[in-house]
Amino acid sequence: MMTGEARQAAGEETSPEVAVRLLRVVTAMVEETRPGRAGRVSLASHLERDLSLDSLARVELLLRVGSEFGTSLPNAALAEAETPRDLLRFIAQAAGLEDFPAAPVELASPAVLTSFPSQAATLVEVLEWHAEHHAQRTHVLLYGNAGGEQGAFRAVAITYADLLARSRRVATGLVARGLRPRQAVALMLPTGSDYLTSFFGVMLAGGIPVPIYPPARLAQLEDHLRRHARILANAEAVFIITVPQAKGVAALLRAEAPALSDVVTPEELDGEAMTLLYRAAADDIAFLQYTSGSTGDPKGVVLSHANLLANLRAMGEAIEVTSDDVFVSWLPLYHDMGLIGAWFGSLYFGMRLVLMSPLDFLARPARWLRAISHHRGTLSPAPNFAYDLCARKLADADLQGLDLSSWRLALNGAEPVSPATLQAFAERFAPYGLHTEAMTPVYGLAECSVGLAFPPLRRGPRIDRIQRAALVDRKCALPAAGDEADAVSVPACGRVLPRHEIRLVDEQGCEVPDRRVGRLQFRGPSATAGYYHNPVATQALFQEGWLDSGDFAYTVAGEIYLTGRVKDLIIRGGRNLYPYELEQAVGQIPGVRRGCVAVFASRDPVKATERLVVMAETRVENEDQREALRQQINAAAVEAVGMPADEIVLAPLNSVLKTSSGKIRRNATRNAFERGLIGARALPARQQMLRLAAAALRARLTEAAQRVARRIYGTWCWAVFLLVSVPVAGLVVLLRAPAIGRCVVHHAARIFLALTGMRLCPTPLTALPTTPHLLLVNHCSYLDTLALCATLPPTQAYCFVAKREFVAQPVMHAILRALGTLFVERFEASRSAEDVDEIVAALGQGQRVAIFPEGTFSREAGLKPFRMGAFVAAARAGVPIQVGGLRGTRSVLRDKTWLPRHGHLAFELGAVLVPEGDDWAAAVRLRDATRREMLQLCGEHDLER
């Protein structure tokens, strides 16, 4: 029967008030169970995936919800409720109310959204969702000069309804001109409302947008378009949407881009909107992000709607985005960080986007900071050069009245992050309210949509000082002494995003441990399927299901530290420069040896920025002629890449290093330049060849021997395992005596470890409690149970707890049941509560129970969130918890790998923890104490931070 409060709720309360009360209960539960995640609570939050409330935590939540509203929720709520919005429906049923409307509930103010388009499968559906739910909500505040370049700098508000309506008209114009679904349309427009509406107009028409950066000056328009002819040809673009001045050069491009049919302006596409029949699917291409320039084979990253939405949701989760955030951006919309991170991110989460063009920023960098101050911006990214520019170039007069206290994430990405810049920017703007912890280096790449790694929130930059010699010579990131002058400072770029994975591999493709430099590879739902119409580049991108980032890095405690780029891409002043074009231009200059020019980036040790260096071989020795040659090279640089070189090196013959096939070895040449070896006396050619040949032969033989040895060892491990496990399993099932079976398994496990050479470091086990207790151990690998069986004394037999999925596997179920194993349910809430009763009963009968509280393991290192079953059982039974820690098993047999690697295992006992009550709060305290202890024992980082 309903209480008076429940009847009042049914008859008098409005649904927003009920929702506010419900979210208050959920928030309190999350804050108690998973501190730090309360900011993620909304009506659309998934109770387990987003809020980490496992099955037992949901049981506790439903009890609290029932207490809050004075009623009992239906049994179906336990199995069916996945979000707080689902709980609203069950509260209504319990109180006799109708289901609540699907419109989001405003909590703090009408500007705050309580739900996001979580069911949207495409970006078009995201826009339509917002236009349906809050059509007149401001989406973008677009700044620009009203009335032209000399006009006042003013903002125009664009609502979701405005953007959708104008985009539909552009889509109609494209369809009327013959655009068919899945045809590419290039966008070469400056930042503005035309760009926004044209981009969505192409998608609404079923086309594939291809962003191309516009020319800096209209005088360069013809040459600019010619530079993009290869991209247009690769994308098979049928239209270019651009400024009116570009229409006259369309005929010049048709020879190189034969699919191009017309060059149109947004005004020409503006017509009466009609209903369009094409609806994109999640796996359709959303747009193409080209990562290389006009030379070589263009590489257009294929990004589907599913890729983009997965990346947006993962980034939003990592940085705890809400619709109350304000995103300020001047980043170009043809760049992934500006397009996806700024615009699409603001679109998805309903944030207000304060947008200006890159030219507005470059003209007056203080505008960026003023916009953050004026609009109380909370999120704003920029490449390193922008932070350096503001820290070092802005006058104090430009900063009067500036207040940056609202800026919670100053994201630094898209080019190498300088620790000196982080420090300089933080110190310069601390008097203006900037919090040091707002400085946030991040890592991403177009092949992963945009974002791949973000550091923990509210921590600030973490800088690792490492030994230069160890990094260069041994590819090791060894911590440097405090007074080591030649140390290298490397900023942490964060941990991999939720539902994504990374690994670092050496030249043989084997994963390397922490503080070893390797090639960074990744995979996840944001990852591209490949490059558009470029099968060769796509094949090179993938290695055994992993994507190659093209970057070198190392990890420490799960965080990524970048040490260099494998690619020859040069990032200068926020622009991507490609060396081949400039090398060709310089090679045409009389006096320069053709084909003997190297262009690369070199770090300036004084300014901590990258310099554009041109090295050219020449026979010219006269100083006046050499000076004239430098001026010609500088002029060629300005013409080819739009900027002069920072340093021009006229080198003697054979200074530019090459491969055997004649390709320029730019990285090796740069290293020689930075070490001062250019022009140094070289060894005789024959001696060099002999040394190189010997070194190469040694390297190849070593690599081959290592590969063969690993395969032989892995095969031997499996052979030993089968020889030992098959008869042992048969004997255990035949005996059906758990005590004897555990003793047999103990000795068999020790035999296996001995025969495979896996040394198990001894640990004193005299501290094990003699009374019934729970032994909780971290879970890293399939080897964990085997290592525990070999370690734990057979005289103190433990009953293991396994997941109920094994019940469906007849052979495994028979073996585990014969050993007295308890089976628990990990997902179904009602069954999980019954399983806790079984564990409590086993403890009551005097048994010792061993549990992996993480419930599962994966290839990613780190201690995963604990499930609550073990702690609830310990609290209810009043028995202690013995904490243990395993090391080494993950390295020996990582998840999703099948060939073990030789290594050492270790098991260590920690503290014995006694529950301080038998309620939920006591179980939570016990869980937190266990986690602190286990983190010290297992040697891995905390994945809950």
| Residue count (the chain) | 945
Strongest mean pLDDT among 605-614, 697-706, 893-902:
893-902
Is the per-residue pLDDT at 223 higher than 70?
A: no
Task: Give the domain-ending residue among 329, 363, 397.
Answer: 363
Q: Any alpha helices (H) in 736-806, and if so which ranges?
A: 738-756, 783-791
- Tens of pLDDT, residue by residue over 281-332, are 999 999 999 874 333 467 899 999 999 999 999 999 999 999 999 999 999 8
* Domain match, 58 and 172 both: no
Indicate whether 242 belongs to any domain.
yes
Is the per-residue pLDDT at 824 higher than 90?
A: no
* Domain match, 646 and 724 both: no
CB 112 within 8 A of CB 87: no
What pLDDT band is residue 568 in, cutting at 50, 70 and 90? low
* 296 or 535, which is more confident: 535
Q: What is the CATH number of the domain that holds 771?
A: 3.40.1130
What pLDDT band is residue 905 in, cutting at 50, 70 and 90? very high
List the structure tokens of 279.
Answer: 């609806």
User: Quick one: average pLDDT of 757-767?
Assistant: 81
**What pLDDT sits at residue 97?**
38
Is the per-residue pLDDT at 891 higher than 70?
A: yes
* Domain match, 577 and 531 both: no
For residue 42, which phi and psi values (nearest 5 degrees)?
-150, 175
Indicate whether 697 belongs to any domain.
no
Q: What is the CATH number of the domain that holds 640?
A: 3.30.300.30
**What pLDDT sits at residue 508?**
86
What pLDDT band is residue 683 in, cutting at 50, 70 and 90? low
Indicate whether 87 belongs to any domain.
yes
**What pLDDT sits at residue 293?**
39
Task: Give the domain-ending residue among 653, 681, 709.
Answer: 681
For residue 335, the Cα-to-chain-centroid distance in whole angstroms is: 17
DSSP state letter for 215: P
* Domain match, 553 and 581 both: no
* 458 or 278, which is more confident: 458
CB 572 within 8 A of CB 415: no
Task: Give the domain-ending residue among 363, 387, 404.
Answer: 363
User: Element (H or E) spanning 23, and its range?
Assistant: helix 15-33
In whole numbers, what is the pLDDT of the chain averaged over residues?
83
- Tens of pLDDT, residue by residue over 56-80, are 677 678 778 877 887 666 656 766 7
* Domain match, 922 and 782 both: yes
| Those residues with Cβ within 8 angstroms of residue 207's Cβ, 6 or more apart along the chain or in another chain | 174, 179, 181, 182, 183, 184, 185
> Helix 84-95 to helix 15-33 angle, to the nearest 10 degrees?
130
* Domain match, 559 and 606 both: no
* Domain match, 239 and 321 both: yes
- Tens of pLDDT, residue by residue over 337-354, are 999 999 999 999 999 999
- Tens of pLDDT, residue by residue over 684-739, are 555 655 664 665 577 578 778 888 999 999 999 999 999 999 999 999 899 888 88
User: Quick one: average pLDDT of 933-937?
Assistant: 93
* 737 or 797, which is more confident: 737
* Domain match, 79 and 51 both: yes
**What pLDDT sits at residue 673?**
86
Which residues are registered as beta bridge partners of 409? 379
* Total count of domains within the chain: 5
For residue 676, the one-letter residue type is: G
User: Element (H or E) spanning 519, and its range?
Assistant: strand 518-523
For residue 256, the one-letter residue type is: E
* Domain match, 838 and 735 both: yes
Indicate whether 457 belongs to any domain.
no
* Domain match, 88 and 219 both: no
**What pLDDT sits at residue 320?**
92
What pLDDT band is residue 215 in, cutting at 50, 70 and 90? low
Q: What is the CATH number of the domain that holds 509?
A: 2.30.38.10
* 171 or 943, which is more confident: 171
Indicate whether 425 belongs to any domain.
no
- Tens of pLDDT, residue by residue over 582-598, are 787 888 899 898 778 88
**Structural domain that includes position 912:** 717-938
User: Quick one: average pLDDT of 612-617?
Assistant: 90
Indicate whether 527 belongs to any domain.
yes
User: Quick one: average pLDDT of 253-281?
Assistant: 80
Indicate whether 282 belongs to any domain.
yes
User: Quick one: average pLDDT of 376-388?
Assistant: 91
* Domain match, 558 and 580 both: no
Indicate whether 402 belongs to any domain.
no
With pLDDT > 90 as the criterion, what percentage of the chain qualifies?
Answer: 40
Q: What is the CATH number of the domain that holds 43?
A: 1.10.1200.10
CA 70 – CA 216 distance, rounded (Å): 66
Strongest mean pLDDT among 328-337, 427-436, 914-923:
427-436
List the structure tokens of 840.
Answer: 């409590």
* Domain match, 542 and 628 both: no
DSSP for 845-884, written as a single string: TT-EEEE-TT----SS-SBPPPPSHHHHHHHHHT--EEEE
CA 650 – CA 416 distance, rounded (Å): 27
